[in-house]
Structure 1
């Protein structure tokens, strides 16, 4: 008789997801392999997710919901699973992102997590720690599901020009990342401005920060250190950082000029180069 691992659905969101996946699969009379064949994943992966040894993805959840007729249950649960897998110190911030009606970010040296491609995020997260890199990358990218909500929050990013030059991964990764930024060019709710080197001394010299605004709660300012996050609703801090953000937006390039700078760097710095024999080089 095959031993079936018994999950405690109350142990964690990941365990609860696995419990529900197994319950609905068995109710449908399918083996792990049969379900895997239907949704184009391996039966082994289905088993690993059922036993909380592997993170499900939104894509996996959508396919299984459709195959098992769960009414979108797993797609709703996967958002909780992803947030629960964030570092403990960041989970509160991930919740702020979900609740916020407006998010304003200033970043000094890399692209904000809500705007990162999978390859860029993987390069950032793997700089010092290669463990569970696929899962940690999936968790970061899953935060971007807030842009698929019925009412997308207003997101405004001011990026230092240095973030466009700091090469994460390889040149292809950076080219794809800059192209991803340009994909928001015509989206009025997701706006990207570049703070150019020519701005000189500016209001963000003390470092990156985010401003979260909500429908019914006071704004929150978030700053980050090594392995720690610092959200605060202190009114003086909110006023100070809001003023700083106004000055950063005023010093930054316009939305159109920002897009042109991104486009130019994408081609000139990260575009395909050619060897002397005419063939492309990486």
Structure 2
């Protein structure tokens, strides 16, 4: 009954891996098929398989449903809570899975151009400075991700960039001019709304760091970036809080047209 299910990750790798492992452990312990287990949390068999492999995450309601069904005393909800609070070593992999499935992405970047809009030269300059072990492979991966921006059914992309993102000469003036020209081109796409938060805005909620709010078919999730990693957020209240934060930062941003004008002036100053 379990032959087509993928293996769960090593539970010692992270809290998320432990949670995925225990989904499979409890299912097999109680002799449940993927279909029967899925009915407990309101998903189909294939989704159960993806949850057990760590590809998809359970949410708070699903954790509570499992705790009620198996009478665990809150085991799954506790695992989910601590997984959301902790650093996720696989955050980039999980983020890219959600990114590919997104109907809409709202992103705020306070330091760097988002990977979806980086030129190869800009990406190379960043990776070289960070002493990345496989620079060519990383560049190829970023360029492959960018295909979703202009695919036949692309997600809506709402992009807020701090002025310093387009003003900081990563790789030197020539590379940065090329990068800003690429941003201008991307901003003309019908599914991309790009706005710059000017330095004159002063203090605002984006100074705490970069983040994403992703709308999936079944729910919204958020990611918060951190040095060397990131954190996945699934809790409804916290995800909504990041949505409000995005809106408040957007209230300080220039209009799309004024943002393009500012980027053009910065490009002229780099000449």
- Give the TM-score range, shorter chain: 0.5 to 0.7
Distance in 1, Cα, partners of 2:205 & 2:132:
35
Distance in 2, Cα, partners of 1:89 & 1:197:
30
Distance in 2, Cα, partners of 1:127 & 1:141:
19
Are the structure 2 counterparts of residues 89 and 231 from structure 1 closer, same or farther at C-alpha, using a change threshold of 3 Å? closer
Paired position in structure 2 for 1:78: none
Distance in 1, Cα, partners of 2:193 & 2:137:
28
Structure 2, gaps ≥5 residues long? 1-88
What displacement does 1:188 show? Answer: 2.2
Distance in 2, Cα, partners of 1:266 & 1:153:
28
SS at match of 2:212: strand
SS at match of 1:194: strand
State how many pairs are aligned: 183
Paired position in structure 2 for 1:100: 102
Distance in 2, Cα, partners of 1:263 & 1:164:
10
What displacement does 1:109 show? Answer: 0.9
SS at match of 1:204: helix
Paired position in structure 2 for 1:244: 245
Distance in 2, Cα, partners of 1:185 & 1:241:
23
Aligned pairs for 1:14-93 (under 5 A) are: 88-93=90-95
What displacement does 1:130 show? Answer: 4.6
SS at match of 2:177: helix
Distance in 1, Cα, partners of 2:213 & 2:131:
29
* TM-score normalised according to structure 1 size: 0.62
More helix by share: 2
Paired position in structure 2 for 1:155: 157
**Contact 1:121–1:141 (CA under 8 A) maintained in structure 2:** no
**Contact 1:89–1:227 (CA under 8 A) maintained in structure 2:** no
Distance in 2, Cα, partners of 1:88 & 1:202:
30
What displacement does 1:202 show? Answer: 0.9
* Higher RCO (CA < 8 A, seq sep 6+): 2
**Contact 1:105–1:211 (CA under 8 A) maintained in structure 2:** yes
SS at match of 1:240: helix
> Which 10-residue stretch deviates more, 217-226 or 251-260?
217-226
**Contact 1:193–1:253 (CA under 8 A) maintained in structure 2:** yes
**Contact 1:203–1:248 (CA under 8 A) maintained in structure 2:** yes
Distance in 2, Cα, partners of 1:185 & 1:94:
22
1:199 aligns with 2:201: yes
Paired position in structure 1 for 2:80: none
Paired position in structure 2 for 1:232: 233
Of residues 118, 121, 124, the one that matches 1:119 is 121
**Contact 2:91–2:232 (CA under 8 A) maintained in structure 1:** no
Paired position in structure 1 for 2:182: 180
